[in-house]
Amino acid sequence: MNTVFKGSFTQQEPIPDAGIEAALRVMRGGRLHRYNVVDGEIAETALLEEEFAAYTGAKYALGLASGGYAIGCALRALGVRSGDKVLTNGFTLAPVPGAIAAVGGEPVFVEVTEDLTIDLDHLARLVAETDAKVLLLSHMRGHICDMELLMQICDGAGVKVVEDCAHTMGGAWKGVPSGRHGAMAAYSTQTYKHMNSGEGGFLTSDDPDLMARAIILSGSYMLYARHRAAPPPEAFEQVKWVTPNVSGRMDNLRAAILRPQLADLPRQIERWNSLYRAVEDGLRNTPGLKIIDRPAEESIVGSSIQVLLPDFTPDQIGEVLKACGTRGVELKWFGGAEPVAFTSRYDSWRYANPQSLPNTDRILAGLLDMRLPLTFSVEDARLISEIIREEVSRVALAS
Ligand SMILES: *Cc1c(COP(=O)(O)O)cnc(C)c1O
pLDDT tens digits, residue range 212-267? 999 999 999 999 999 999 999 999 999 999 999 999 999 999 999 999 999 999 99
- What is the predicted pLDDT for the residue at 43? 98
pTM for this model (two decimals): 0.97
Q: Determine, yes or no, domain membership for 5.
A: no
Find the residues whose C-beta lies inside 6 A of ligand 1. Answer: 66-68, 92-93, 95-96, 138, 140, 164, 166-167, 188, 190, 201
Kind of pairing, strands 60-64 and 332-333? Answer: unpaired
pLDDT band at 341 (very low <50, low <70, confident <90, very high): confident
- What is the predicted pLDDT for the residue at 122? 98
pLDDT band at 1 (very low <50, low <70, confident <90, very high): low
Cβ burial, residue 130 (10 Å; 0-12/13-18/19+):
middle
Residue at a domain's end among 242, 259, 276: 259
> Span 32-54, mean pLDDT?
97
DSSP-assigned letters across all residues of 206-269 = S-HHHHHHHHHHTT-TT-GGG-SSS--GGGGTTHHHH------B--HHHHHHHHHHHHHHHHHH
For residue 43, report the distance from its CA to the centre of ligand 1, in Å: 25
- What is the predicted pLDDT for the residue at 307? 98
Same domain? For 222 and 289 the reply is no
* Full residue range of the structural domain in which residue 369 is found: 265-398
**Would the pLDDT of 399 be above 80?**
no
Same domain? For 62 and 189 the reply is yes
pLDDT band at 356 (very low <50, low <70, confident <90, very high): very high
- What is the predicted pLDDT for the residue at 124? 98
Same domain? For 88 and 175 the reply is yes
Same domain? For 221 and 345 the reply is no
For residue 202, report the distance from its CA to the centre of ligand 1, in Å: 11
**Would the pLDDT of 342 be above 90?**
no
Query: Sign of the C-alpha dihedral, residues 264, 191, 109, 313?
Result: positive
**Would the pLDDT of 94 be above 80?**
yes
User: Which protein residue's CA is at the shortest distance from atom 14 of ligand 1?
Assistant: 166
Q: Give me the number of domains the chain comprises.
A: 2
Closest ligand 1 atom number to CA of residue 193: 1
Average pLDDT, the chain: 97
Same domain? For 131 and 273 the reply is no
Same domain? For 279 and 394 the reply is yes
105-159 residue pLDDT tens: 999 999 999 999 999 999 999 999 999 999 999 999 999 999 999 999 999 999 9
> Span 98-111, mean pLDDT?
98
The answer to whether 62 and 201 have CB atoms below 8 angstroms apart is: no
366-397 residue pLDDT tens: 999 999 999 999 999 999 999 999 999 999 98
Instruction: Give, for ligand 1, the residue of 75, 162, 190, 301 to mutate: max count of ligand atoms closer than 8 Å to Cβ.
Output: 190
CA-based nearest residue to 26, from 6, 47, 9, 11? 47
Closest ligand 1 atom number to CA of residue 192: 1
For residue 310, report the distance from its CA to the centre of ligand 1, in Å: 27
For residue 86, report the distance from its CA to the centre of ligand 1, in Å: 17
> Span 28-53, mean pLDDT?
98
**Would the pLDDT of 343 be above 90?**
no
Q: Determine, yes or no, domain membership for 12.
A: no
pLDDT band at 344 (very low <50, low <70, confident <90, very high): confident
CA distance 96 to 137: 9
Give the CATH number for residue 89.
3.40.640.10
Q: Determine, yes or no, domain membership for 77.
A: yes
Q: Determine, yes or no, domain membership for 9.
A: no
- What is the predicted pLDDT for the residue at 20? 98
User: Which protein residue's CA is at the shortest distance from atom 6 of ligand 1?
Assistant: 67
Give the CATH number for residue 330.
3.90.1150.10
Cβ burial, residue 30 (10 Å; 0-12/13-18/19+):
exposed
CA distance 216 to 239: 8
Closest ligand 1 atom number to CA of residue 70: 9
User: Which protein residue's CA is at the shortest distance from atom 2 of ligand 1?
Assistant: 166
Closest ligand 1 atom number to CA of residue 200: 7
Return the SS3 of 399: coil
The answer to whether 305 and 370 have CB atoms below 8 angstroms apart is: yes
291-333 residue pLDDT tens: 999 999 999 999 999 999 999 999 999 999 999 999 999 999 9
CA-based nearest residue to 185, from 56, 376, 357? 56
Instruction: Give, for ligand 1, the residue of 69, 91, 93 to mutate: max count of ligand atoms closer than 8 Å to Cβ.
Output: 93
CA 260 to chain CA centroid, Å, is 20
